[in-house]
Amino acid sequence: MNYHLIYDGNCNLCVNFTQLLEKFDRGNIFDYTPMQDEKTLNQFSITAADCEMGMILVDAKNPERRWQGSEAAEEIARVLPMGQAFIAAYRALPGMKWMGDRAYEKLRDNRYDWFGKRDSTYNSAYPIDCKSCKS
């Protein structure tokens, strides 16, 4: 694994995104844990309050290196095949980064109202192996 993705396991949008990424990646680049998994989050010193700002991407080799919210989405796209060119073009267009950040915030803040909340927390088929986590 190169990255640990921490997602909202109760959010339909977040779970659908995670499942799509799982099917594409099959655990080669990313592994996953829901924000509701306090035991795993504690391994990274991540609190519930930290999770309120959106998904978190952690560099598996350097856990102090993290991205959150729209920055995490950009980093995910960047490391996927052909993603680096897409993100470079996205960031080069005037105003796109600002609009993307605002769009992410709106989605994050309204995700349950717009996409619904799951009855149970989704746990990935590719969970984070906390034997390799560093505090």
pLDDT in tens, 32-89: 999 999 999 999 999 999 999 999 999 999 999 999 999 999 999 999 988 999 899 9
Q: What is the pLDDT of residue 129?
A: 81
Q: Cβ contacts of residue 105 below 8 Å, gap of 6+?
A: 69, 70
pLDDT in tens, 94-131: 999 999 999 999 999 999 999 999 999 999 999 998 55
Residues 13-29, mean pLDDT to the nearest whole number: 95
Q: What is the pTM of this model?
A: 0.90
Pairing of β 30-34 and β 3-7: parallel
The amino acid occupying position 66 is: R
